[in-house]
Structure 1
Amino acid sequence: MLPPSPQIALLAYLDKSSEGAELLSTVTQARVGYELFQRVTGQDQIDKYKKECILAIADYCKKHPNASKEDLRKEVGKQIVIFAARVDAL
């Protein structure tokens, strides 16, 4: 779970509350840590690839509304193979 939004922390800091500066510092550190984790693990790229895979399957279904179950299975399999190859390449 992410910490409070930076806007809330900034508002507390600007209101000169006693914990405002500490809260802003903590939230900023947490956000930077989260971003670093996403970049180091490649999770942001994996999420992007997953979204592209789902969209490609949805697009196929939209363009081929009368496709057989076998055709759908083949397309889903193809998109999953592409997704897996992209993730392996990270």
Structure 2
Amino acid sequence: SFGGNAETPALLLLQVALLHWLSSQTEEDRRMLAAVTGIQVGRELLNRLTGQDKRECILSIADFVQKNPRASQTQINAEVEKNVVMFAARVQALESTPIF
């Protein structure tokens, strides 16, 4: 269904590339389809991996707060900052690592 979903343009581009290749069967169109498919797969993998990292970041902070009920706001802020920095480093590493 088309309803303004953020994935709609990428899916539409993939479908156009597939349709174009199916009608022409040229090597150039096959390469274009492979490139568009690779981008879509990479984007989905990055979204899933960063989503998992984000959940781990949040759970780690929640675990710290639960295990340290008397922690000061400064201590909690330091724990949050530490986890956010680790999350950002993981995302940056994922973005800079080639998928294929």
Which category of TM-score, normalised to the shorter sequence, fits these structures? Answer: 0.5 to 0.7
TM-score (norm 2): 0.52
CA distance, structure 2, for counterparts of residue 63 and residue 78 of structure 1? 16
Amino acid at match of 1:86: R
Amino acid at match of 2:42: V
Percent identity over the alignment is 41
CA distance, structure 2, for counterparts of residue 46 and residue 80 of structure 1? 12
- Superposition pairs for residues 31-50 of structure 1, below 5 Å? 37=40, 39-41=41-43, 42-50=46-54
Number of equivalent positions: 56
CA distance, structure 1, for counterparts of residue 76 and residue 90 of structure 2? 21
Which ranges in structure 1 are unaligned for 5 or more consecutive residues?
3-35
Which ranges in structure 2 are unaligned for 5 or more consecutive residues?
3-38, 95-100
Matched, 1:84 2:62: no
